[in-house]
């Protein structure tokens, strides 16, 4: 009889561990390729599909999760000529003014920006970007040669109709000059994290 009791205990323990593992797996977010496109993209750019994502941390602070949406025939070497979208899911609060200032700083890595242009773009970004709360989503759609269009939690925020602005802004994450090359690689090559 003691042998049967030991077998029952072992079976119970195995079953409990398997159930715990399955529960933990269901709590994980879906990989980017398994997630449906944001509703806005489905309506305005129906050919875009998930390409890559990245979980961005700064030191030990979780900042945001980012996903890149592109056409199936997307070519990383021709970034500026292709429609694409970036969605950021924020993991902490940020003021619109801070997002705009940091964006300019990162855009300067790829190009010289005059003081006049900087002030114009800062004002435009502060007009379009909201203050961000933890859990908010900011989606940007890049339309080559035209504009960058933005949505906050699926609600339209506006566009920056400046052909020079859009490639530099999306280059914050996708340019070879980005401050986060591992993020760029994960987004462009379809890595999950």
Q: What's the structural domain count of the chain?
A: 2
Residue 34: what are its φ and ψ, rounded to 5°? -95, -10
* Distance of alpha carbon 166 from alpha carbon 141, whole angstroms: 9
Same domain as 51, residue 8:
no
CATH code of residue 173: 3.50.70.10
Q: Are residues 71 and 139 in the same domain?
A: yes
Q: Does the pLDDT value for residue 193 go beyond 50?
A: no
Q: What pLDDT is stored for residue 35 in this prediction?
A: 65
Q: Burial-class residue 8 by CB neighbours within 10 Å (0-12, 13-18, 19+).
A: exposed
**End-to-end CA gap in the chain:** 50
Residues 6+ away with beta carbon under 8 Å from 184:
173, 174, 175, 176, 178
pLDDT band at 159 (very low <50, low <70, confident <90, very high): very high
Count of positions (residues) in the chain: 193
Residues 124 and 171 in one domain: yes
pLDDT at 15: 56
Do 159 and 79 lie in a common domain? Answer: yes
Query: Is the domain of 118 the same as that of 171?
Result: yes
How many other C-beta atoms lie within 10 A of the C-beta of residue 68? 25
Cβ contact 140:162 at 8 Å:
no
Instruction: Give yes or no: residues 21 and 59 share one domain.
Output: no
User: Which residues form the domain of 66?
Assistant: 32-189
Greatest CA separation found in the chain?
A: 86
Residues 12 and 58 in one domain: no
- pTM reported for the whole predicted model: 0.80
Question: Do 80 and 174 belong together in one domain?
Answer: yes
Q: Which of 20-24, 49-53, 60-64, 88-92 has the lowest mean pLDDT?
A: 20-24
Residues 16 and 38 in one domain: no
Q: Same domain, yes or no, for 20 and 47?
A: no
- 91 & 181 share domain: yes
């Amino acid at each position: 009889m003691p042998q049967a009791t030991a077998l029952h205990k072992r079976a119970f323990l195995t079953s409990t561990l398997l159930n715990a593992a399955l529960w933990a797996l269901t709590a994980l977010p879906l990989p980017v390729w398994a997630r449906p496109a944001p509703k806005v993209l489905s309506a305005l750019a129906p050919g875009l599909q998930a390409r890559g994502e990245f979980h961005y941390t700064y030191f030990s602070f979780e900042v945001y999760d980012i996903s890149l949406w592109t056409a199936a025939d997307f070519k990383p070497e021709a970034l500026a000529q292709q429609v694409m979208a970036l969605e950021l899911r924020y993991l902490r609060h940020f003021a619109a003014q801070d997002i705009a200032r940091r964006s300019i700083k990162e855009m300067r890595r790829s190009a010289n920006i005059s003081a006049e242009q900087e002030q114009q773009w800062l004002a435009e970004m502060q007009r379009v970007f909201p203050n961000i709360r933890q859990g908010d989503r900011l989606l940007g759609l890049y339309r080559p040669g035209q504009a960058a269009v933005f949505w906050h939690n699926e609600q339209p925020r506006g566009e920056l109709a400046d052909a020079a602005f859009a490639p530099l802004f999306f280059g914050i994450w996708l340019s070879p000059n980005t401050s986060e090359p591992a993020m760029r690689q994960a987004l462009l090559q379809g890595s999950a994290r």
